[in-house]
Each structure stands twice: as C-alpha cells, then as structure tokens.
C-alpha cells in the first residue's frame, strides 16, 4: 500500500498545482494546499484543501461547512467541492483590485437598448440622451462594495451594490449625465460546455436609489427610475452575467484549462457549497510531464 499511497500523493499534488493556477489572476491567488495527507477509500482518493485567499495582508474568514465527502456518489472521475467563502473571498479581492468595472459603448450599447425596445417607449432614449446618439454614449458600471456570494440549491445568489454612470464619450467633466446606485439580487446558474463557462441569470431584483441627472432631462424621477430598472432587468443583468462567464473562461484558459478534455461536467449548488463533478482526459504533453516528474522522484 505504500506505493499506492505514494502515487495518490503525487496525483493530489499535481491536481492541486493545476487548480491553483486556474484560480490565479494578477495579484489574486488561492492557497489550496492540503490540510492532511490524501485518504485512500475503497474506490476513490479523498483530499481536503485550505481554500485560503492570497491577497495582500487580507485574513479570510472561514465558516464551518456542512459538507462531507461521503455525501457524494462515485459515478464521475473527479469531484471538486468548493465552499461559498472561497468564492466570496475571491469576489472581495476582485472588488478591491477594481476588477468589477465595465464600460459599454458603441454597437454593444446599441444592441442592449435594441433588445429592450419592447420594454420601454421609443421616445425614452431621446429624453434620456437629448442630442446624443447611442454611438457616442458610454455606460460605466462598478461595484460600490464587495458583492456577497452564497450557494443555494436553486443556484448561486449574488447580492451586490453597484453604481452606473451614463455619459457622452466626449464629456470630459467629472460627473456623468445620469448617475445612480442600485441594490441587485441575482440568482445565477452555471454550466460548462464546449470549453466555455456559461452563466445564466434565472431571477433578479433591482432597486435603484440615489439617482442624479441634469435639468435638461424632462422625465420625472419616478418614470426615469422605472425605465432604467426595466432596461437593467431585461438586458443589463443578463448581459453582465453572461460576460462574467466569458471573463472567467479566459482567466482559466490562461492557465491551460482548455487543454483538458472536460467530459459531461455538472455544476451543482447546495446550501453553502457547490460541487463540480466531471470525467476528464489528460492532454498528452501534461500526462507525459506528470509521468516524467513521477519517474524522476523515484
């Protein structure tokens, strides 16, 4: 059994090293070193890892999890259990690094408003942007405070407090034409297919507050708030959620995720944690690298 345990340790260390790279972005990283030697079960290898945020001098807070590995079946080759505090800490670091900022303009902005044309009267855009075309408009959004992320059986619940500024591209003043802050509560379902991570918003609630706009906008505040909430709900949040899937795919692919054959993956949320379960195939060069390192350590 010594030889089996030796190989189990090597395999766990290899998977850990690759997984750490998938969770790295610029100054943000995760310490997922094992908390104890891997445990050999009758039909699988079990290893527990820290999941601690590596970001400046931040000291992460941990909640006790209700998950036990025995709760899993063994129909897949590989299972990842991730506690919600891991994702919340990553979201905190992303906020502190000013990564939760987006700018939408030009054709992309025109498409968003076009998709919402059934929800708002056509004259609204003329009243919102008098004398300014969508082509010359930019919408900036950013997180005002760190988003809270929690896992529930119905999906991943994201509660955020964000700011939105609508401005003309050639406006060099400090303040935008329209500025508002909003509370957003969104439930997101995640999936992985064709080497892409997909996010879909299944429910959303929006409350706009602290709205500011110039006097040449003739809309009353209640009407302006109502139309903006419709645009954000119908196309804004779905667009942002979908973009986050593309961004996270790019981050993980930078570390080589696309080189693996991910087979029949499932992402299943539970109360307080998420399970990613999958079959996979090693790329030939990574398998060769793993075997060479294994032989060199003999």
The model's pLDDT over 167-201, given as tens digits with 9 standing for 90+, comes to: 887 765 555 678 999 999 999 999 999 888 999 99
Res 147: pLDDT: 93
Q: What sign does the dihedral 39-40-46-52 (CA atoms) show?
A: positive
Mark 119-145 as b/e (b = at least 16 C-beta within 10 Å): ebeeebbeebbeebebebbbbbbebee
Structure confidence at residue 182 (pLDDT): 94
Q: Cα–Cα distance between 50 and 43 in angstroms, integer?
A: 24
pTM above 0.85, yes or no: no
Whole-angstrom CA distances from 128 to 75, 93, 123, 165 are 55, 35, 9, 12
> Residue 180's pLDDT is what?
93
**What sign does the dihedral 14-18-19-24 (CA atoms) show?**
positive
Among the ranges given (9-18, 102-111, 192-201), the one the predictor scored with the smallest mean pLDDT: 9-18
When pLDDT is cut at 50, 70 and 90, the band that residue 1 belongs to is low
User: What digits encode the pLDDT tens for the residues 128-168?
Assistant: 877 777 788 888 899 999 999 999 999 999 999 999 998 88
User: Above pLDDT 70, what percent of the chain?
Assistant: 80
Task: Give the span between the Cα atoms of 26 and 251, in whole angstroms.
Answer: 10
pLDDT of 250 above 90: no
Evaluate if residue 251 carries a pLDDT over 80.
no
CA distance 116 to 111: 9
**3-state secondary structure at position 214:** coil
Q: pLDDT value at position 18?
A: 67
């Amino acid at each position: 059994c010594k030889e089996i345990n030796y190989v189990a340790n090597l395999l766990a260390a290899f998977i850990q090293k690759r997984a750490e790279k998938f969770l790295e972005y610029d100054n943000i990283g995760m310490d997922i070193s094992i908390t104890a030697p891997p445990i050999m079960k009758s039909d699988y290898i079990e290893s527990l890892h820290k999941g601690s945020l590596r970001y400046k001098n931040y000291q992460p807070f941990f909640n006790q999890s209700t998950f036990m590995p025995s709760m899993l079946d063994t129909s897949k080759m590989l299972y990842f259990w991730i506690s919600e505090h891991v994702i919340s800490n990553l979201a905190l670091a992303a906020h502190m690094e000013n990564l939760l900022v987006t700018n939408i303009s030009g054709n992309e902005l025109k498409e968003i408003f076009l998709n919402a044309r059934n929800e708002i009267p056509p004259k609204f855009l003329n009243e919102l942007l008098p004398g300014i075309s969508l082509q010359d408009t930019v919408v900036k959004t950013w997180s005002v405070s760190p988003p809270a992320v929690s896992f529930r059986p119905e999906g991943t619940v994201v509660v955020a407090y964000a700011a939105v500024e609508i401005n003309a591209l050639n406006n060099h003043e400090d303040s935008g034409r329209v500025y508002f802050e909003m509370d957003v509560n969104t439930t997101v379902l995640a999936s992985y297919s064709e080497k892409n991570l997909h996010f879909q918003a299944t429910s959303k609630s929006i409350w706009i507050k602290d709205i500011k706009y110039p006097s040449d906008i003739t809309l009353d505040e209640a009407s302006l708030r109502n139309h903006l909430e419709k645009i954000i709900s119908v196309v804004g949040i779905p667009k942002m959620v979908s973009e986050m899937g593309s961004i996270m795919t790019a981050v993980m692919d930078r570390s080589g995720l696309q080189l693996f054959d991910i087979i029949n993956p499932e992402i299943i949320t539970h109360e307080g944690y998420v399970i990613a379960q999958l079959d996979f195939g090693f790329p030939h060069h990574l398998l060769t690298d793993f075997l060479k390192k294994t032989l060199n350590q003999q």
